[in-house]
A and B are shown apart, each in its own frame.
Chain A
Amino acid sequence: MKTFIKCTLATAVLAASVTTAQAETEMVIVSWGGAYTKSQNEAYHKPYMKEHPSIKIINDDSASEGAAKLRAQAEAGKVTWDVVDVVPDAAIALCDEGLVMEIDHDKMLAAAPDGTLPSVDFGDAIISPCFIPQIVYSTTIGFRTDKVGATAPSTMSDVFDMKKYPGKRALQKSPAGNLEWALIADGVATADVYKELATEAGVARAFKKLDTIKKDVVWWTKGAQPGQLLADGEVVMASAYNGRLFAAIEENKQPVGMMWDAQVFELDGWVIPTDAPNKAEALKYVKFATDTQRLADQSKYISYGPARKSSAALVGKHATLGIDMGPHMPTAPANAKNVLFKDVNFWADNNDELAEKFEAWLAKG
């Protein structure tokens, strides 16, 4: 037994010395996988590892359960993630629970090339003190160009108009987004949507408007579904993430069109766990990955807009398709005429209650 213990100890010491000799730090970055992680790999990870040969970035594709897994790791007292890609709702929840660290955006992130402070450059995108904004994406409406007749739908009221555009619609199975759209289609100005939705009458009004299309809606839960439903001809219109629609139109050349009216702007960004194993390295990494050039670079690989204002001018061509990415950004002026900013703080307060109402409404048949 004694020899066994000695052997184990010797191996452990040896292993430890080997690790220090190489001085390589493994940094775990959690993201969504697929085309999205690929775009981050090309735009951020590869150039960063080139600059810092001692860092090895490990990709973990579990962002869809990021908040739940991070909480479980923290409860077990063993956090293994360094940087996590999250949507704002999760960033707020994790920040509330103290599971991710607060960021001093002006001190910890890179200023714009002209010296603009990050807090100004990111602006409203900093929705929580823990959140480091990365991209702006939008949920918008895609439609089958061969099934909507001569005039394509152009406003949100067209989506709710069963006479003008008969046929099924696919919408995300969640109250957020749909309630707002119902109010816009019912004539509420985009700027007043959340004021209206904060009242009981406003919620009732939204559900009443949704009632008018309820029997023609297919509800989707995974981001890949609406594109498939459109491609299969199951639905005439579908709400979808703009990047998915871009892929359907430009990469797969499907007869799909896109309507930008009342697109819902949403953000995606980084958070750093409070107990991240390589916190200092993680901070260095996010400073690099969210500078003006890097954010612009990402749009070469995926049609999501950079979250900094200063990056907009640097958006170039798609890396493989060679098309100008500027006009495909949700933030492009031509697309962003009527935009709804998703109010994450409203949803942080009301999601529990409205999700129950939404499910009960769905079940009523």
Chain B
Amino acid sequence: MASNTEALKTADGISLKVSLQRSLRRKKRNALLLVAPLFLFILVTFLFPIFDMLIRGVDNKITQEILPTTVVALAKWDPASGQLPDEDIFKAFTVDGQVAAKAKTISRLGKRLNYEKSGFSSLFRKTGRQLKKFDPEKMTTSYKENLISIDKKWGKVETGSLIHRESGRYTKSYYLTAFDLTQNSEGNIEWKDADSSIYIDLFKRTLWLSCLITFLTILFGYPIAYLLATLKAKTSNLLMILVLLPFWTSLLVRTSAWIALLQKEGVINDTLVAIGIIGDESRLSMIHNSTGTLIAMTHILLPFMILPLFSVMKTINPSYVRAARSMGATGFTAFRRVYFPNTIAGIGAGGILVFILSIGFYITPALVGGVDGTMISNFIAYHISTSLNWGLAAALGAILLSLVLVLYILYDKLVGIDNMKLG
């Protein structure tokens, strides 16, 4: 038998098995080469930036870079002792500080530490200015006294203990802030005072508003998608254009249109007052609060719900419902037991799409959300472009990302991701 297999050879004398393997390998390689550009693109523009962002949320190499010898010297000091660091630590700081002041990097560290405690920004700027002129040859006092004479804060244990705490390669402080936690001077983690904790409530609000928006888009989108899928092609095409038209309009234009409609002196309030439903004094506040965010975002995201629903409904054979009716089911039962279960895949797809989009929305909430209608993305945007605290922005972003992933896994467990249909 063995000799038989050996006998199977291609025209150029290579065994068939090897030849087959070769051609399969070539196919595989070609397929890989074809997807390589896309893979590289995603790697460079999506995976790498996300990885970089995750690192930024814990990265703290700045202290070691700017105060290399101080960090080593500080490791020997125990802030819990309540004693000021030794003279050699102050000397190390003066030496590092002078180098950093000349390289103009010292105030970067001040800005970084100012996230932990107000006042460090100006402390480091001031100290840097003085150290630049400082000449150790002419010094008459100790290094410790010299620094304290620059600013009294150097004479406090808290100043040293904060640098000591933030001298590691990595920090947990951004994540602590993102969870409204803080470290006290003994290094214990505790909740922030109620008058400065904001992020947990914001996460809760973002999730709650996104759930509500998803629910509203299902409620409004379902009947429209049903109409689109069941009407005659001519009518349904016209309706489809009406669904898509706002979809093609700029987001800012649609948001501004809602402002014109919903505000106190806006079209809706004016009409209600004119026909006498409400008095001129009791005009409704429908904007600059969470109601405004809900209405505007539901409208903006509606097409993302209607389109997947429509494409799923289009494939449902009308004879299923007819069969149910012919066997005695009422219209409602036929819908509940036969039609609706067939559309679950569309609801799932639309729901995930709308939910994930709304979790990341920030222009619309910024314009119409007022105080209780802003979301966590507004704060991520604020920390990226205004406060420049990218570490905190990264921590908030990473938490948001993991929330979405958890919800995705939950969805997969409950509904099954294979049931999702986008078209």
| Residue positions of A touching B, CB distance < 8 A | 64-65, 67-68, 71, 93, 95-98, 102, 168, 218-219, 221-222, 225, 228, 232-234, 345, 348-353, 355-357, 359-363, 365
Contacts and interface: CB of A to CB of B under 8 A. Distances in A.
B121 A96 contact: yes
Contacts of B388: 67-68, 71, 93
B265 interface: yes
A219 B119 contact: no
B183 interface: no
B111 A357 contact: no
B387 A98 contact: no
Contacts of A363: 198, 201-202, 371-372
A360 B195 contact: yes
Interface stretch (B101-109, B240-248, B272-280): B101-109
16 contacts: A68-B384, A71-B388, A96-B107, A98-B105, A225-B367, A233-B264, A233-B265, A234-B264, A349-B120, A349-B122, A352-B118, A357-B196, A359-B198, A359-B379, A363-B198, A363-B202
Contact of A232 (B194, B263, B387): B263
B198 A356 contact: yes
Given A68-B384, A96-B121, A232-B265, A360 B371 contact: no
Most buried by B among A96, A233, A361: A96
Interface string B183-199: 00000000000111110
Interface in B304-363: none
Given A233-B265, A349-B122, A360-B194, A96 B110 contact: yes
Nearest to B117: A353
B366 interface: yes
B226 interface: no
Contacts of A357: 195-196
A65 to B, nearest CB: 5
Contacts of B105: 98
Contacts of B202: 363
Contacts of B164: none
Interface in B95-151: 103-105, 107-108, 110-111, 114-115, 118-122, 125
B104 to A, nearest CB: 4
A67 B115 contact: no
Interface in B19-59: none
A356 B196 contact: yes
Nearest to A359: B198
Given A234-B264, A360-B194, 19 more contacts: A64-B385, A67-B388, A68-B384, A68-B385, A71-B388, A71-B390, A96-B121, A96-B125, A98-B103, A219-B371, A234-B263, A345-B122, A349-B119, A350-B119, A352-B114, A352-B387, A356-B198, A357-B195, A365-B372
Contacts of A95: 107
Contacts of B121: 96, 348-349
A350 B367 CA distance: 26
Contact of B108 (A64, A98, A228): A98
B389 interface: yes
Contacts of B196: 353, 356-357, 360
Contacts of B266: 232
B265 A222 contact: no
Nearest to B371: A362
A261 B164 CA distance: 47
Nearest to A207: B195
Nearest to B192: A356
Contacts of A102: 104
A361 B195 contact: yes
Contacts of B366: 221-222
Query: Nearest 5 CB-CB pairs, A to B?
Result: A96-B107, A68-B385, A353-B118, A98-B104, A233-B265
Contacts of B379: 359
B288 interface: yes
Most buried by B among A349, A355, A361: A349
B263 A93 contact: no
Nearest to A95: B107
Given A67-B385, A349-B114, A352-B115, A360 B198 contact: yes
Nearest to B263: A234
B155 interface: no
B239 to A, nearest CB: 33
Interface in B369-413: 370-372, 379, 384-390
B153 to A, nearest CB: 12
A353 B107 CA distance: 18
Contacts of B115: 352
Contacts of B114: 348-349, 352
A71 to B, nearest CB: 7
A299 B293 CA distance: 39
Contact of A350 (B118, B265, B371, B384): B118
A253 to B, nearest CB: 19
Contacts of A348: 114, 121-122
Interface in B235-278: 259, 263-266
Contacts of B259: 228
Nearest to B110: A96
A222 B369 CA distance: 13
Contacts of A352: 114-115, 118, 387, 389
A222 B367 contact: yes
Given A232-B265, A234-B264, A97 B108 contact: yes
Given A349-B114, A357-B195, A219 B263 contact: no
A233 B202 CA distance: 31
A64 B386 CA distance: 9
A234 B111 contact: no
A234 B265 contact: yes
B229 to A, nearest CB: 41
B121 to A, nearest CB: 5
B176 to A, nearest CB: 13
A101 to B, nearest CB: 9
Contacts of A351: 387
Contact of B111 (A64, A65, A97, A365): A97
Contacts of A225: 367
Contacts of A219: 288, 370-371
